[in-house]
Amino acid sequence: MANQISIKPQESADLKNPGMRPFPKHSVPIPGTTSQVKDMEASEKQTNPIPADEKSVALGKKLFEIYCTPCHGFSGKGDGLVGAKLLLQPFNLTADQTKARSDGFIWGYMTFGGAVMPSYANDLSVNERWNVINYVRKVLQNGQSAAAVMPAAK
């Protein structure tokens, strides 16, 4: 099946111009698809560009429940079922130490990963990570849990 008459991934249909099609001149990436941040130090300086409105918080809740609760638990205290099995306990997202961190630091940690936390840069878009931060800041750090808050966005 691999050797058939078809266009393969990253292959051009134009025999005169083989290879991938280059991006158009002066093209600009779509917001939320890329980030120019190269490391944690640079990410700490970022500010959250997504307003913490109801829509953002609802989406953040949905994403938090999918990606974060296994380790951080519904309350964000690092008491998830997977987190309990790790040698290092996941961060308590409701602790004063975490509250004192910048949104950029949390975004960078989600992007680059940490001691036991994997990178979620391939799983969550740039904007989705900001939405999760809005949910953590607005809901979890105000003493509510994921299970007790508004229903997830559809």
**Cα–Cα separations (whole angstroms), residue 136 to 7, 11, 64, 91, 108:** 45, 43, 8, 12, 15
pLDDT at 148: 53
23-32 pLDDT per residue, tens: 667 766 555 5
Q: What are the Cα distances from residue 55, in Å, to 46, 51, 59, 79, 124?
A: 22, 9, 6, 27, 17
Global pTM reads 0.72
CATH number, domain 66-148 = 1.10.760.10
Taking a C-beta distance cutoff of 8 angstroms, is the pair 25, 116 a contact? no
Residue-wise pLDDT for 15-51, tens only, equals 676 665 666 677 665 555 456 678 888 888 889 999 9
Alpha-carbon gap, residue 91 to 93, rounded angstroms:
6
